[in-house]
Amino acid sequence: MSLRSPLGRVLGLGSAKDGTEHWWAQRVTAIALLLLGGWFAYALVRIDSLTYLDVIRFIGQPINAILMSLLCVTLAYHSYLGVQVVIEDYVHTPGTKIVSLLFSRFAHVFVAIAAVYAILNIGVGR
């Protein structure tokens, strides 16, 4: 038998107060992806031809390199947020959940760094 009131027993068992931040991050990155994706589609249409040299010249322009880097980082972060929700909702074994979340984070960070490195390598190393 506990001397705690019903309210005292449930206090502290609610949400982790992290859902709103996650929700906002998904929405803000989705809007950023709409804008950056629109720019990328428009830029691809404007390239004369999609030959190797034309694409290298396109990425070599500073504004294009910056916007492509932002697109890659935003896409990786938005993807990470979505995969995190799926893992938290559908993986029920605690050890597997933690390993899956860690692997997802490392994989998304690796992909984002590799993309930015490739863009910088093309832009600077022409």
- Report pLDDT for 53: 92
In 6-49, where do the E strands start and end? none
Neighbour-count burial for 11-29, b at 16+ CB within 10 Å, e otherwise: eeeeeeeeeeeeeeebeeb
Question: What is the residue extent of each domain of the chain?
Answer: 19-124
- Element of type H or E holding 103: helix 94-124
**pLDDT reading at 126 higher than 60:** no
49-66 tens-digit pLDDT: 989 999 999 999 999 999
Residues 77 and 108: beta-carbon distance below 8 Å: yes
Q: Domain spanning 19-124: which CATH class is it, in words? A: mainly alpha
**DSSP for 109-125?**
HHHHHHHHHHHHHHHH-
